[in-house]
A and B are shown apart, each in its own frame.
Chain A
Amino acid sequence: MFDLKMKILVVDDFSTMRRIVKNILKQLGYENIEEAEDGAQAFSKLKNGGFQFVVSDWNMPNMDGLELLQKIRSDAELKELPVLMVTAEAEKDKVITAIKAGVNNYVVKPFTAEILKEKMDKIFERLGK
């Protein structure tokens, strides 16, 4: 099992969505959760350090989830950071783009706590933690 104390960043421009995702993460036992409104804000928060996991929406103004992912992957400090992308429905081309850009996993809205846990488990399993 992985660390329930890890610091997670939830990125979504819609505050209700952030709250929902946060709520689900809390159901799974995570407490240390912060929020960001878009990719740009997320990135600057990430740069300030301490995050171990990112759950990001795809569609956002300013900097969307894919751009954020690309920025994370090309950043020396952050490139190893696991990112879970939230998409609305499994659009094949999008998922492929995301995988190519180095996403660790994706989850389709709406999802339950169980599904999220499954996805996260898989990510950390692969990362060997």
Chain B
Amino acid sequence: MADEMEEIVADFVTEAEESLEKIDPLFIELETKGHDKDILHEIFRSMHTIKGAAGFLGFQHMVDVAHKAESIMKKLRDDEMSVSTPVMDVILKSVDMLRLLLQHIKVKDGKEEDTSALLQELDATLSGTAPAAPETPVVSSPPPGPAGASAGEEGAGPAAEQPAGGIPAGRSEVKIPEVVLDQPAGPEGDAPAVEDRAIAAAQTKEPSQTLRIDVGKVDKVMDLAGEIVLVRNRLMNIGNYLEEKYGGDSYVESLMGTVSFLDLVTSDMQLAVMKMRMQPLKKVFSKFPRLVRDLSNSIGKDIELVITGEGTEVDRTVIEHIGDPMVHIIRNSVDHGLETSAERVKKGKSAKGRISINAFQQGNQIIIEVTDDGKGIDVERVKNKALERRLITEEEAQRMNDETAINLIFMPGFSTMDVATELSGRGVGMDVVKTNISKLNGYVEVRTERGVGTTFRINIPLTLAIIHALMVRSLTNQYAIPLAPIEETLKVAVKDIENVSGQKVLVVRGKVLPLFELSDILGYGVGGDAEYRYVIVIAIGDRRFCITVDELLGQEEVVIKTVEGIDTNAAYIVGATITGDGKVVLIIDLAGISRNVLGLKKM
């Protein structure tokens, strides 16, 4: 029981200190904002909470100080008193005193503080006879009492630096499951002050199930986890080499054992870090009902929005970047997809249009679908528009199948409405959607049926930083090809590759698939006259195609690093990575290839 009590007291000290730290920045905010009810209430609440717990634990001095300070805060909050410097001074003094008292409890020095002067001052403030401050023995801001210095507390002000465990005032931070900061997820986070946070975390003995951590720090951990993956890959490479050369040697054996354990732990760590960054899509979806309501009001369409799967969790980078493209798609559906109520009724549909958003996880992919039950996309109109805009030639339009034609809407400069309406904006159209989603290594597909509706299906990988890749050689260069869209790899005799009106094709399991040389796509031309080619069968959405390479080198987990200075969109590159043997290798953008090479050759 005594131990239990001690633990509770320790918890109390930590939590009360935390609570006081949390209100520190509020005082600063209050100074700039002046009277703000929410802030005043927040400070009130902290005092109130501390008082409540202190009462149970018999810390009467704390109860007294907190009670009076709380009463003042209540008066301020309820407009019975106005915020002024002398009043805030007294409150700040109370905060400092509470800290001091907590410090005594923490170090168990048994020291008593004389709170009478402060209590008098608080009383005077409460009864409105303040400013009484100068008359009291405690002048201006430093905490009263002789033990102030010895306790190591420098209560010089709200923003004063706190001892270990302090959360610097005004620092941006997140409660992981709730808030996202507008910080780029770039790998280069700043790493200072990791220690003080670590201490803070260690000291915070399970105050709740959540821990607030600076986003930059989570990113840093993510980045480091990525680095460890790279190191692990290299170690495994070296290990394999040694095993081949010195197999049977006991040291090599134990090295291999250790490496495979490292392999296991690294995978687990990757997963854990990944989960740390995951947030529910609800954060993004929650703004859509309002959006749809406003949009439909402004153009007089009656629309119902149904959202499902908003609990699906995605990487926080996705949360940050998926909003804009989704807004575009929704706007597009409201504007172009759905008909007016009158038109709908005429067609025998319900008067109310319907947009449904659904999100779910499918293997390593997150799928988000935006479906409308509108008129569907008019393929001929899309083709005509593309012709008009000189995005395609007459001949291409003739040859183009419907699916490819519909995807023309993702081309830059395409907009089906002759006059861009207020809704869909100024020509910045679906190409932005495509670009933004491919930045997340994802892709969009469209399915549409005349008179029935359109579905935009967004596919995004679960993790953005690390992917499984097939390492290949094309001519003299090594590349990494994301494994997920690869259906199979084949070794094919060159004579089996056929040529249909200028397009190379390969019959794979009874289906004729277009075939491209990777080196050709990348602009290196077609090389070699080998008898056999390695063919990689790729499926992106409903589209399947083959690319050929000179050699398959193996499978590797690669960490995607963004490449600065090249147009990753046009170069069919999503990034670069460092391989197990230390080489820098470019990662192929299959979605980009599928989009641009298929049907729209040489654009």
- Knowing A59-B45, A59-B49, A61-B45 are in contact, say whether A16-B55 is a contact too (CB < 8 A): no
Contact of B48 among A15, A88, A110 (CB under 8 A): A88
| Set of chain A residues within 8 Å of B15, measured between Cβ atoms | 14-16
> How close is B586's CB to chain A, nearest CB, in angstroms?
48
Contacting pair A16 B45 (CB below 8 A):
no
| Set of chain A residues within 8 Å of B55, measured between Cβ atoms | 109-110
| Set of chain A residues within 8 Å of B16, measured between Cβ atoms | 16
| Set of chain B residues within 8 Å of A86, measured between Cβ atoms | 52
Q: How large is the interface on A (under 10, 10 to 19, 20 to 34, 35 or more residues)?
A: 10 to 19
Chain B residues touching A, majority SS: helix
How far is B52's CA from A111's CA once the two chains are assembled, in angstroms?
Answer: 10
| Set of chain A residues within 8 Å of B51, measured between Cβ atoms | 88
Contact of B49 among A17, A37, A110, A111 (CB under 8 A): A17
Contacting pair B53 A37 (CB below 8 A):
no
Contacting pair B45 A17 (CB below 8 A):
no
Contacting pair A20 B8 (CB below 8 A):
yes
Contacting pair B208 A15 (CB below 8 A):
yes
Contacting pair A16 B11 (CB below 8 A):
yes
- Knowing A20-B56, A59-B48, A109-B55 are in contact, say whether A14-B8 is a contact too (CB < 8 A): no
What 1/0 flags go to A47-80 for Cβ under 8 Å of B? Answer: 0000000000101010000000000000000000
Q: List the A residue with the shortest CB-CB distance to B205.
A: A15
Counting CB contacts under 8 A, is B206 at the interface? yes
Counting CB contacts under 8 A, is B12 at the interface? yes
Counting CB contacts under 8 A, is A23 at the interface? yes
Contacting pair A88 B52 (CB below 8 A):
yes
| Set of chain A residues within 8 Å of B207, measured between Cβ atoms | 15
Contacting pair B8 A16 (CB below 8 A):
yes
Contacting pair B4 A23 (CB below 8 A):
yes
**What's the A-B contact tally at a CB cutoff of 8 Å?**
47
| Set of chain A residues within 8 Å of B48, measured between Cβ atoms | 59, 88
Counting CB contacts under 8 A, is B358 at the interface? no
> How close is A97's CB to chain B, nearest CB, in angstroms?
15
Residues of B548-589 contacting chain A, CB below 8 A: none
Q: List the B residue with the shortest CB-CB distance to A26.
A: B4
How far is B63's CA from A110's CA once the two chains are assembled, in angstroms?
Answer: 10
Q: List the A residue with the shortest CB-CB distance to B10.
A: A16
> How close is A5's CB to chain B, nearest CB, in angstroms?
22
Contacting pair A15 B45 (CB below 8 A):
no
Residues of A1-32 contacting chain B, CB below 8 A: 13-17, 19-20, 23
| Set of chain B residues within 8 Å of A13, measured between Cβ atoms | 49
Counting CB contacts under 8 A, is B19 at the interface? yes
> How close is B313's CB to chain A, nearest CB, in angstroms?
18
- Residue in B11, B45, B52, B209 whose Cβ sees the most chain A Cβ within 10 Å: B52
- Knowing A37-B208, A59-B48 are in contact, say whether A17-B4 is a contact too (CB < 8 A): no
How far is B48's CA from A109's CA once the two chains are assembled, in angstroms?
Answer: 11
Q: List the B residue with the shortest CB-CB distance to A37.
A: B208
| Set of chain A residues within 8 Å of B53, measured between Cβ atoms | 14, 16-17, 20
Contacting pair A14 B4 (CB below 8 A):
no
How far is B53's CA from A109's CA once the two chains are assembled, in angstroms?
Answer: 8
| Set of chain B residues within 8 Å of A17, measured between Cβ atoms | 49, 52-53, 56
Q: List the B residue with the shortest CB-CB distance to A27.
A: B1
> How close is B519's CB to chain A, nearest CB, in angstroms?
57
Contacting pair A15 B11 (CB below 8 A):
yes
Contact of A19 among B8, B19, B52 (CB under 8 A): B8
Residues of B5-44 contacting chain A, CB below 8 A: 8, 11-12, 15-16, 19
Contacting pair B8 A109 (CB below 8 A):
no
Contacting pair B52 A14 (CB below 8 A):
yes
Contacting pair B4 A16 (CB below 8 A):
no
Q: List the A residue with the shortest CB-CB distance to B207.
A: A15
Q: List the A residue with the shortest CB-CB distance to B52.
A: A109
Q: List the B residue with the shortest CB-CB distance to A111.
A: B56
Q: List the B residue with the shortest CB-CB distance to A14.
A: B49
How far is B12's CA from A15's CA once the two chains are assembled, in angstroms?
Answer: 8
> How close is B94's CB to chain A, nearest CB, in angstroms?
16
Contacting pair A23 B11 (CB below 8 A):
no
Contacting pair B11 A19 (CB below 8 A):
yes
| Set of chain A residues within 8 Å of B19, measured between Cβ atoms | 14
How far is B48's CA from A61's CA once the two chains are assembled, in angstroms?
Answer: 12
| Set of chain B residues within 8 Å of A23, measured between Cβ atoms | 4, 8
> How close is B75's CB to chain A, nearest CB, in angstroms?
14
> How close is B505's CB to chain A, nearest CB, in angstroms?
57
> How close is A90's CB to chain B, nearest CB, in angstroms?
13
| Set of chain B residues within 8 Å of A61, measured between Cβ atoms | 45
What 1/0 flags go to A73-115 for Cβ under 8 Å of B? Answer: 0000000000000101000000000000000000001110000
How far is B59's CA from A16's CA once the two chains are assembled, in angstroms?
Answer: 14
What 1/0 flags go to B187-214 for Cβ under 8 Å of A? Answer: 0000000000000000000111100000
How far is B57's CA from A20's CA once the two chains are assembled, in angstroms?
Answer: 9
Q: List the B residue with the shortest CB-CB distance to A110.
A: B55
How far is B49's CA from A13's CA once the two chains are assembled, in angstroms?
Answer: 9
| Set of chain A residues within 8 Å of B206, measured between Cβ atoms | 15
Q: List the B residue with the shortest CB-CB distance to A61.
A: B45
- Residue in B48, B53, B55, B209 whose Cβ sees the most chain A Cβ within 10 Å: B53
| Set of chain B residues within 8 Å of A19, measured between Cβ atoms | 8, 11
> How close is A119's CB to chain B, nearest CB, in angstroms?
15
Q: List the A residue with the shortest CB-CB distance to B5.
A: A23
| Set of chain A residues within 8 Å of B209, measured between Cβ atoms | 37
Contacting pair A16 B12 (CB below 8 A):
yes
> How close is A95's CB to chain B, nearest CB, in angstroms?
16
Q: List the B residue with the shortest CB-CB distance to A87.
A: B52
| Set of chain A residues within 8 Å of B56, measured between Cβ atoms | 17, 20, 109-111
Other contacts beyond A14-B15, A20-B53, A88-B51: 7, CB < 8 A: A16-B11, A19-B11, A59-B49, A86-B52, A88-B48, A109-B55, A109-B56
6 shortest interchain CB distances as A-B pairs: A110-B55, A110-B56, A16-B12, A109-B52, A14-B49, A16-B11
B interface, CB within 8 angstroms of A: 4, 8, 11-12, 15-16, 19, 45, 48-49, 51-53, 55-57, 206-209
- Show 30 residue pairs from A and B whose CB-CB distance is below 8 angstroms, ordered by the A residue: A13-B49, A14-B15, A14-B19, A14-B52, A14-B53, A15-B15, A15-B206, A16-B8, A16-B11, A16-B12, A16-B53, A17-B52, A19-B8, A19-B11, A20-B8, A20-B53, A20-B56, A23-B8, A59-B45, A59-B48, A59-B49, A86-B52, A88-B48, A88-B51, A109-B52, A109-B56, A110-B52, A110-B55, A110-B56, A111-B56
